[in-house]
Amino acid sequence: MKKLALLSMLAIFGSSAILLTHVQASGKKEQPLATPRQDQDEATTCGNQTLQGVYGVVLNGTRPAPAPPSGVPNYVPGTIEQLIGVGTQTFDGAGNFSQITNEKGSLSGILFPNRPLQGTYAVNSDCSGTITLHIPGLPFSILYDVVIVSHGKEFHGIVASPLGPMVSTTARKID
């Protein structure tokens, strides 16, 4: 048992030493994983115009199950359910977008097929940004934190607000 603990500690110290040597040799600061990374040989500056055109979107995560549009549900609305979805988002390059999505909840099923929605977005110069989705009937908007990659050809996002949904989004430009 003591041998196993000693070998584990040596492996951890060895890995740390290799990482420290690599960081010192590169002479560069390590960047956090959530920070948008740009090519070193090319300075990239983003703005609202970086997102322009039609993007195919995939949604995946969990959310509080919504009440059905009519009838009595076979679940308690607000119970956490798995969510998957696909759709398109069309960005105008000036801070507005529209989308059409099909989402399926593990409890609620498909409630609103081909649901058209709209919203706004803001892209920072470091290629991070926010997308605000307005859903009629909800007393609040859905706020996504996003990072734009591949010079605007795709982006990745997570629901930042409200706190209940744990949804991630991946989108790729299709036009």
Q: What is the pLDDT of residues 55-87, one digit of tens each?
A: 999 999 999 998 887 888 889 999 999 999 999
Enumerate the β-bridge partners of residue 120: 96, 132
What's the token pair of residue 21? Answer: 């040597």
Structure tokens at 41: 């040989």
User: Is the sign of the CA dihedral 31, 35, 39, 45 positive or negative?
Assistant: negative
Residue 155 has pLDDT above 90, yes or no: yes
Helices (H) and strands (E) in the chain, counts: 1, 8
Mean per-residue pLDDT over the chain, rounded = 81
**Domain ranges across the chain:** 48-173
**pLDDT value at position 43?**
59
Residues 13-43 have pLDDT tens digits of 343 333 333 334 444 444 444 554 544 435 5
Host H or E run for residue 31: none
CA 138, CA 149: separation in Å to the nearest integer? 31
Question: Is residue 122 within 8 Å of residue 138, measured between CB atoms?
Answer: no
Q: Which CATH architecture has domain 48-173?
A: Beta Barrel (2.40)
What predicted TM-score, i.e. pTM, was given to this entire model?
A: 0.73
